[in-house]
Chain A
Amino acid sequence: MMLEYSVVAKRLRKVYRKEEGGFPFRRKSSETIVALDDVDLSVKKGELFGLLGPNGAGKTTLVKILSTIIIPDAGTALVNGHDVLKEPGKVRASIGVVSSGERSLYWRLTARENLEYFARLYKVPDGVARRRISELLSLMGLEDRADELVEKYSGGMRQKLAIARAILHDPEVLLLDEPTLGLDPSFSRSIRVFIREELNRKQGKTILLTTHYMDEADQMCDRVAFINKGRIVAVDSPEKLKAMIGMNEVLKMVVSNLDEKVLTMVRGLPFIEDCGVANAEQDGRTMVRLYMKNVDANIQEVVGVFSKAGCRIFSLSIEKPTLEDVFVKLTGEVLDG
């Protein structure tokens, strides 16, 4: 039977309860955090699917449930047709997981020793493993340093090795949790190209990746789901999502002395459709994104409102809408990072 969907999440729910005190006096506090709030999600076979949301939105919890490391409070998920609750063993055999952070490797082992070890844990037959390990090491450009300790590797090399480890057993589904977090830009680019071209297009793997970089999702993914505060806000292709804003343009401004009064005034302008305010302030400066039709004709009036209210304008630019703008429009919040 051909599966149409490789990953299906059905009404997944997960609530964390904070703990207080030390052993043996530890107790659960009444404070709870809803990490996932009835999440439904389907990823088509062969698709590169992005889960985009700010830190703490529930992305990692979702990936961990799909990789059988966390048990949900309610709902379940199918990965490759296997239920994560009923057949965790089969799910594990058919997924490869890369979590952000290079710590998922043994630093005091060499790259080859790491791969040999995980090949055994993934029950890859020895002959196949040997061939596969040398293939992967050369694919990743690590063959020259394959017998060096991982602690001598750079962050980017460790991430490559972590990816090699995840695809060692040739899984059909890859779950990548912030695969480029903390890598320098050029390395991030090469990892993205590798994921898109090699793993997804060439090897035909279904990939679910989480990120809080909107560019990453925009460039790479066939479809994107926005997740915020444990809820899926929208799912579609990046193009269609951006089309939701219409033909509008975005006026991006950095201003000082911003307060609620000014914002109300700006929102009151007839041509303004929406307005997003970044919560990250530096030296009293705030980034504001204004969504409107026909920026050229109205820019003067907007500037006038800010100046009259005593705001100083530091910069001003006109941009095409990005995924971030869609996210702002849908949630009223700004992605960090």
Chain B
Amino acid sequence: MKLDAASMVLELKAAVSTARKEILINLRYPLWVVFWAIMPIFWLAPFVFQGHALVGGRFSESFRELAGSSDYVTFTIIGSSLYAYVMSALWGTGLSLRREQWGGTLETILIAPCSRFSILFGKALSDSVLTSFYAAVQFTLASLLFGARIRVENLFFAVSAVLLMILALYGIGLILSGLILMYREPGALLNFVDTLIYTVCPVNYPLRTLMLFFGGVGYYVAMVSIVFPLTPALEAVRAFLLPSFNPYLNVAIALSYLAAVTLVFLTLGMLLFSVVEKKVRRRGAVEAY
């Protein structure tokens, strides 16, 4: 692969074109667009209601002790909005090549003389554009329904942290798409990773709850949690947006860790993908499923 400016531009165009194609196809399934825009509210609402049932109001004393802020409603709204990106990296980018395989177009795009990473990058790009739209809809709807209280002046910093998280998450998506291309049975793997992240990451409850709940084991669970980019990103975003939030991780450390993890996951993902592509071509099973 040549690396001069002209061919870089062509690769970039291939990536943007892939993103455009993905968004076009998505818009042709309007039912799914509506689904992804509306559904997350249905997943968030039970947590708000559970809060009302257990503490009888929108503030929890226990939350104040664990996280500095007693406003569990805003806390979970932020959590579930960012969680949308995890789902998209798993079920979008992770499954993207598998979907081409189901559709019968995988071979055709792999025969094209552009870099595989341009195609994958294009897919991740379209996923993050769509997800940002869904996350914004969700945040707005949830704020209207349940009332979110955030420090709007810090929105810029929060969005920057989210961007960093997106890069890291799509590194994971890349790793998964390689694994799925090889093992072909993605449902169980994706469901497991999805549920694991949801349980150990501070989507709905502060990180310190793990220590409260699991005792000594909690530290280890928290360490597992921090491996996923979602955790440092949530800590940073909440520190920016949630008034009086007291993060478990230092924000500067969380952000630099996130940057490092991004590099690691992206490199790992690209390496793994190259290996898997060779392996699949050797096995002769690019289109088989």
Contact = CB atoms under 8 A, between A and B. Distances in A.
User: Are chains A and B touching in the complex at the 8 Å CB cutoff?
Assistant: yes
- Chain B interface residue bracket vs A: 35 or more
A105 interface: yes
B10 A123 contact: yes
Contact of A109 (B21, B109, B110): B21
Nearest to B7: A123
B114 A123 contact: yes
B5 interface: no
A101 interface: yes
Contacts of B111: 67-69, 92, 95, 97
Contacts of A109: 21, 24-25, 28
Given A89-B1, A121-B109, A122-B113, A106 B21 contact: yes
B245 to A, nearest CB: 41
Given A109-B21, A116-B17, A69 B185 contact: no
Contacts of B10: 123
Contacts of B104: 101, 103-104
A104 B281 contact: no
Interface string B14-43: 101110110011001100000000000000
A118 interface: yes
Given A69-B111, A97-B108, A97-B111, A106 B103 contact: yes
B116 to A, nearest CB: 11
Given A108-B29, A120-B14, A123-B10, A92 B105 contact: no
A113 B17 CA distance: 10
Contacts of B114: 120-123
Contacts of A93: 113
A23 B25 contact: no
Contacts of B281: 68-71
Given A108-B25, A108-B28, A123-B114, A14 B284 contact: yes
A61 interface: yes
A229 interface: no
A89 B14 CA distance: 15
A118 B112 contact: yes
A284 interface: no
Which has the most chain B C-beta neighbours within 10 Å: A118, A123, A149? A123
A104 B185 contact: no
Nearest to A67: B111
A117 interface: yes
A113 B25 CA distance: 10
A83 B189 CA distance: 38
B107 interface: yes
Nearest to A96: B111
Interface of A: 14, 16, 22-24, 26, 35, 61, 64, 67-71, 73, 89-90, 92-93, 95, 97, 99, 101, 103-109, 113, 116-118, 120-123, 126, 149, 165
22 contacts: A23-B184, A64-B107, A64-B286, A71-B281, A90-B113, A92-B113, A93-B113, A97-B107, A104-B107, A105-B105, A105-B108, A106-B105, A109-B21, A117-B18, A117-B21, A118-B112, A120-B16, A120-B18, A121-B18, A123-B7, A123-B14, A123-B113
Interface of B: 1, 7, 10, 13-14, 16-18, 20-21, 24-25, 28-29, 103-105, 107-114, 119, 183-185, 188-189, 278, 281-284, 286
Given A23-B189, A108-B29, 16 more contacts: A22-B185, A24-B183, A64-B284, A67-B111, A68-B111, A69-B110, A70-B284, A70-B286, A92-B111, A93-B113, A97-B107, A99-B108, A106-B105, A120-B18, A121-B18, A123-B14
